Amino acid sequence: MFVLMNAETKQLFHSYHFKTSYEHAGHARRAALKHSSTPYAKKRGTEYVVIDYGAYMNLYGNLTRRVTNLMSGKEIEIGINTPMSCDPSSELYWSM
């Protein structure tokens, strides 16, 4: 299985509207080109690369980022692929 990874942040491509994993590398490369060429991605300089999911987990599966908890103000570490609904630095987390 192949996935799209942000070349700069090493985060996986997440979307509720688009497919996020592919059986064939060619399909994943086509999707990476499509998502990297959107106006939003061009504005932010986002580039997606194709990587095998198993290789991704071996290389980047334990990467974290530091965020500030909205309620306590303390800095905490969460995984780079933590969804917004599980991220204490987002209002979505506290409004659920």
Distance separating alpha carbons of residues 34 and 72, to the nearest angstrom: 40
pLDDT tens string, the chain, 96 residues long: the values are: 999 888 888 888 877 777 888 999 999 988 888 888 888 777 777 888 899 989 988 988 888 999 999 999 999 999 988 888 899 999 999 998
- For residue 64, give every residue at least 6 positions away whose Cβ sits within 8 Å of its Cβ, in sequence order, or none: 77, 78, 79, 80
Nearest in space to 71 (alpha carbons), one of 45, 39, 95? 95
Cβ 58 vs Cβ 83: under 8 Å: no
Predicted local distance difference test score (pLDDT) of residue 21: 87
Q: What is the pTM of this model?
A: 0.70
